[in-house]
């Protein structure tokens, strides 16, 4: 009986994690010619139930699922990226859920999403990391289904 409960609990926990091809498989190449690439990813399963959507230039792209990343090939230039956290939720530990980023042709930029405690429930914050750090972090993460601009 206990084994069945443990297996059911493990299944529920894993169902919230990303599945699909890994970063090692997907991110081996660069962006299309005259394009830029933006990769948003989340490692931590902390706050597993908190999975607000990433938005790029005001359009929803994909959920901020733990162990997952989303890839957007975009036109070079300025872009606004955010996480659709619950309104009126206060983040007590700093960080921002909105980032402005200017992409250069051929560039791949990485934004790391991290859960933080909030007033009512957790919030997800974004921070830009180096390309080396982003590549290392996303190697074993799974690609999320998303709809980029």
Report if residue 117 sits inside a domain: yes
pLDDT in tens, 117-141: 866 677 888 999 999 999 999 999 9
Residue 97, domain member (yes or no): yes
**What is the per-residue burial (b if ≥16 Cβ within 10 Å, else e) of 59-73?**
eebbbbbbbbbbbbe
What is the number of domains present in the chain? 1
- In this structure, the strands spanning 53-56 and 59-63 are antiparallel
> Is 64 inside any structural domain?
yes
Q: Is the residue at 148 inside a domain?
A: no
- Out of 5-14, 67-76, 106-115, 135-144, which region has the weakest mean confidence (pLDDT)? 5-14
**Mean per-residue pLDDT, 34-56:** 89
pTM reported for the whole predicted model: 0.82
Q: pLDDT at residue 44 above 90?
A: no
Q: According to DSSP H, which parts of 33-149 are helical? A: 131-138
Alpha-carbon distances of 145 from 25, 45, 105, 142, rounded to whole Å: 15, 18, 24, 10
Residue 79 located in a structural domain: yes
Percent of residues, the chain, with pLDDT higher than 70 = 79
Encoding tokens for residue 35? 């394009």
| Mean pLDDT of the 77-99 span | 79
Residue 149 lies in a domain: no
Is residue 101 one of the residues assigned to a domain?
Answer: yes
Q: What is the structure's pLDDT at 5?
A: 31
Give whole-number Cα distances, 52 to 22, 31, 55, 114, in Å.
21, 26, 9, 12
Domain that residue 40 falls in: 2-143
If pLDDT is split at 50, 70 and 90, which confidence band does 8 have?
very low
pLDDT for the residue 15: 43
Quote the pLDDT of residue 86. Answer: 73
């Amino acid at each position: 009986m206990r084994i069945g409960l443990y297996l059911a609990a493990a299944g529920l926990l894993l169902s919230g994690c990303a599945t699909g091809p890994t970063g090692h498989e997907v991110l081996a190449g660069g962006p299309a010619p005259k394009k830029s690439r933006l990769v948003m990813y989340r490692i931590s399963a902390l706050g597993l139930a908190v999975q607000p959507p990433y938005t790029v230039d005001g359009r929803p792209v994909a959920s901020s699922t733990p162990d997952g990343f989303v890839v957007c090939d975009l036109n070079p230039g300025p872009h606004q990226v955010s996480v659709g956290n619950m309104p009126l939720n206060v983040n007590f530990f700093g960080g921002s859920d909105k980032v402005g980023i200017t992409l250069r042709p051929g560039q791949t930029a990485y934004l790391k999403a991290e859960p933080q405690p909030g007033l009512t429930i957790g919030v997800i914050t974004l921070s830009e990391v180096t390309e080396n750090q982003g590549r290392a972090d996303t190697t074993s993460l799974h690609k999320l289904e998303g709809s980029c601009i």
